[in-house]
Chains A and B, each alone.
Chain A
Amino acid sequence: MLLSGCSELTVLDPKGPVGESQKDLILYSLVFMMGIVVVVFSLFAFMVIKYRDKPNRKENDYKPDLHGNRTLEIIWTIIPVMIVTALSIPTVSTLFDLEKPPESSNDQEPLVIYATSADWKWFFSYPEQGIETVNYLHIPTNRAIEFRLSSADSMASLWIPALGGQKYNMTGMETILYLQADEPGIYDGRNSNFNGEGFARQTFKVHAENSAEFQNWVASIQNEAPELTQNQYDSLLKPGLEGKMAFSSTHLAWVDHGTNEGRDYSVVRHWDAFGELLHLENGENHEHK
């Protein structure tokens, strides 16, 4: 029952190779952990039941001066060392794998998307396609996505649990995160790193669709969406909540917050706005997506 319940949990039911490798690692470690828990719990139950001080306990079962056993102590030092080694090897190899695009889509170049966090919204810029979306994301399936993460102001963390683990968005520097969706669908994405009042609402939906549909969507944005002007972008950066938007140009034309030049772009423009409260209640603006 526990296992069937687990398979419905987002992290243990990934929709892409990155999440898959992390799930495998988690389940692999879980086996060891369950083993440890079973051993310790049974020993514990045995000791507590057997050696309670109750009437008519056998006196020869009580050894108050028993104070050590070198062999035993060596054994229970070596076993944890072995377990840790067994866990370290796949951890390290997975770590290095995660710094590269997933192998299953080696035949194509990864799709580059600049994911920029600003209090409390997401900008997704597609430099090759020349389009930009706010608070929602479309990606093709079976192709690696290279997210170039940065932030216009506070530190955030891009997390799409159905596709894989997260990385931080920070201003003045760029971090890179590879993800990939193998199954089409709509997934939840969010900022998982607390960054102030609107934090809980800094979420977005990920629309994973096959290549043709994705191209159609790109074309429709390119043709129908308005161009993003610097003025409009600057006002969008102001701390607050925004709905979904799409543009047929990107803000990278005038600022990349992942570079040293772009680091204080937002803060100098909206210095006073950061101190103002939104007075955000549960239920308000909830359905902006």
Chain B
Amino acid sequence: MQLDEFFVTGEPLIYAGMVAIVLVTSAIIFLLTYFKKWQWLWREWLTTVDHKKIGIMYILSALAMLFRAGMDALMMRTQLAFPDMNFLNAQHYNEVFTTHGTIMIIFMAMPFLIGLMNIVVPLQIGARDFAFPFVNALSFWSFFFGALLFNISFVIGGSPDAGWTSYTPLSGAAMSPGPGQNFYLLALQLSGIGTLATGINLMVTIIKMRAPGMTLFKMPIFTWSTLITSFIIVFAFPILTIALALLTIDRIFGSQFFTVTGEGLPMMWANLFWMWGHPEVYIVILPAFGIFSEVISTFAKKRLFGYNVMVWSIILIAGLSFLVWVHHFFTMGAGAFVNSVFSISTMAIAVPTGVKIFNWLATLYKSKIQMTTAMMWALAFIPSFVIGGVTGVMLGMAAADYQFHNSYFLIAHFHYVLIAGTVFACFAGLVYWYPKMFGHKLNERIGKWSFWLFVIGFHVCFFPQYFLGLDGMPRRVFHIIPEWMPLNQIATVGAFVMGIGFAVFVFNIYYSYRHSEREKTGDPWDGRTLEWATPTPVPHYNFAIVPHVESHDAHWDMKQKDKTIYNESKLEPIHMPNSTGQPFIMMAILFFASFALVFEWIWLAVAGLIGALVMMGIRSFDYDEGHHVEVDEIKQTERSARRL
């Protein structure tokens, strides 16, 4: 293969990207070497199995991905600002919207939420780590290398360009030759392994490792939403695994699943993709509901209204999420009967969701609302999400969907639910749990600036898109006609305001790191759940003594009764797992195997696969039992953390 086929050439924007990548990489290498931090990096981060550190790595990666896919979004909005704009050509635009969608869903929204789950769930249920810390590290590295594989397509080989849904036959070998689609398939496959493993891990953790006294219906609502999300992951991701595998085999080994030749059935890809894809939507929205519930009840200083109903509505939504996938292709011609069935099941989801909205509003009733940044993100969610929700019901009406489908109406709808739902929740959750993670709050004043910029920008960007859709503007076109210009320009302005809001958010992280007051109490928000009972910084074993829980606002209860979870006389040695480099190495090997398969270098891929199997064999013979933290060490840690 020629070097100029290997690297992407001919695009000034991509050359600029290459230069930026080289500069940033060398800067990181230089800094690590200069400050002699390589060993620290390996010991403290790359080999860690501590759920809190893994969670932080998830969130940092997700923020980086948000930046990358956000840049994609701004490029698209720039291209669409004028009818005669020639900033991106057709091919480049197609690549940009494909990577934007894929990264935002797979490499931003999910890892961000999984990162928060990593940090928070064991703390909320009084556990000392995940059920399988080793697997947790494996999951993170599988996501990390999957994201890396997807992102290098940008400079090596060429990005995928068939949309994040990658519909066949367009994405098959006949119509999309070359490595682009292989990057998509294998990167998703690689990170999918980790997601499935995380789902199993979280389920076992929540089912088996709760503190004594914490029955299922005394779990904090975020833990509940995590449990249900894991359930969806466990049952939805295998479908994606198979769909991706079949298309990969189609492309690389010439089978005929989704092809035009050999009586293949391209429709089947859409069917399988959305059988995973619709539950996937709930994988990223249910944890968001959990976060909002926690934040709203904390800053309203009031118990969550209708806890049981909130839980059951999550369960109901999860069940229905597996029964509505056809609404993504009502227009495929399956006939009025099939469409009627799925139309009704789709609209049925509005019922439990509506109930949740009213329960949040009722939580605010007779409360004492504290307008912190986290609370503002949560409050902004309610009206914004309602707009997204009601337009979702409109899309669910199949007969009307024939007009909405593939138009900007749809684009506006899913950005309204995914940004107002998931992204607001990520920000709310990050601001809320930030002191627990880093030992200091984010600056409130700058936080509110970023909030207002982002939220106003969001509405300015996406509200006009409903009307563009009704005016017949289809999604994924790389240029507009003059009639659509005014609304598009408004949207573009909004997008840039959102971009500024994000920049201010990131600046706030830096500013607060330098200037924020350090946290002393471990409970800066007067919290309600167990994670606030731990000192800050959280010791690596989380709880010196596993607490006994009596209600779902465990910490609130303890504060009312003047109890604490710490009692020096009851300390016992704590068993903890050892750090290990195996997850990192195993996934690095799989990364190279996948990379080889992208370019269809079969023997190299096979060698990599064998390498990964060997690593699994090594793991099988690994009888590392972990270590014990002795009582004296616990005493010392707790005294300094609790400032006793």
Contact = CB atoms under 8 A, between A and B. Distances in A.
Q: In the complex, is A directly touching B at CB under 8 Å?
A: yes
Nearest to B93: A200
A181 to B, nearest CB: 15
Interface string A21-51: 1100110011001001100110110011001
Interface stretch (B42-50, B299-307, B414-422, B590-598): B299-307
A197 B90 contact: yes
Nearest to B477: A200
Contacts of B162: 194, 196
B331 A165 contact: yes
Contacts of A128: none
B631 interface: no
Which of B163, B308, B331, B347 gathers most chain A CB within 10 Å? B331
B402 interface: yes
Given A12-B470, A95-B340, A279-B91, A51 B365 contact: yes
A280 interface: yes
Contact of A165 (B305, B347, B401): B401
Contacts of A9: 467, 470-471
B260 A263 contact: yes
Contacts of B309: 68, 73
Nearest to A75: B358
A90 to B, nearest CB: 8
Contact of A76 (B85, B355, B406): B355
Interface in B437-489: 467, 469-472, 474-479
Given A9-B467, A84-B351, A190-B474, A196 B175 contact: yes
Interface string A271-289: 1001101111111000000
B86 A283 contact: yes
A22 B393 CA distance: 15
Given A73-B309, A263-B260, A281 B400 contact: no
A91 B399 contact: yes
B366 A88 contact: no
A30 B354 CA distance: 17
Contacts of A192: 405-407, 474-475
Nearest to A187: B472
Contacts of B339: 95
Interface string B50-81: 00000000000000000000000000000000
A214 interface: no
Contact of A153 (B169, B302, B368): B169
A153 B402 contact: no
Interface stretch (A135-143, A167-175, A224-232): A167-175
Contacts of A274: 174-177
Contact count band on A: 35 or more
B395 to A, nearest CB: 10
A66 B331 contact: no
Nearest to A265: B260
A275 B162 CA distance: 13
Contacts of B357: 40
A11 B470 contact: yes
A91 B91 contact: no
Contacts of B398: 91, 95
Interface string A76-91: 1101110110011001
Contacts of B403: 11, 19, 22, 26, 161, 164-166
B336 A99 contact: yes
A250 B595 CA distance: 47
B200 interface: no
Interface stretch (B243-251, B384-392, B542-550, B566-574): B384-392
A170 B331 CA distance: 11
Interface in B336-394: 336, 339-340, 343-344, 347-348, 350-351, 354-355, 357-359, 361-362, 364-371, 379, 382-383, 386-387, 390-391, 393-394
Contact of A37 (B267, B358, B387): B387
Contacts of A155: 167-170, 266
Interface in A139-157: 149, 153-155, 157
A111 interface: no
A103 interface: no
B633 interface: no
Interface string A242-277: 000000000000000000100110011001001101
Contacts of B333: 149, 167-168, 175-176
Given A92-B343, A279-B89, A282-B84, A65 B303 contact: yes
A278 B90 contact: yes
A186 interface: no
Given A153-B260, A196-B170, A87 B471 contact: no
Contact of B86 (A11, A157, A282): A282
Contacts of A267: 169, 174-175, 260-261
Given A91-B344, A159-B472, 11 more contacts: A41-B386, A44-B379, A51-B367, A52-B371, A67-B303, A80-B350, A88-B344, A154-B169, A161-B472, A194-B167, A271-B174
By Cβ-Cβ distance, the 5 closest A-B pairs, closest first, are A165-B402, A175-B333, A94-B399, A161-B472, A47-B364
Interface of B: 84-86, 89-91, 94, 161-163, 167-170, 174-178, 260-261, 263, 266-267, 300-309, 329, 331-333, 335-336, 339-340, 343-344, 347-348, 350-351, 354-355, 357-359, 361-362, 364-371, 379, 382-383, 386-387, 390-391, 393-394, 397-403, 405-407, 467, 469-472, 474-479
24 contacts: A10-B470, A36-B354, A40-B382, A47-B364, A48-B379, A51-B368, A62-B301, A62-B366, A66-B302, A72-B358, A77-B355, A81-B351, A87-B397, A153-B260, A155-B170, A157-B331, A164-B402, A166-B403, A166-B405, A168-B329, A194-B163, A196-B162, A278-B90, A281-B86
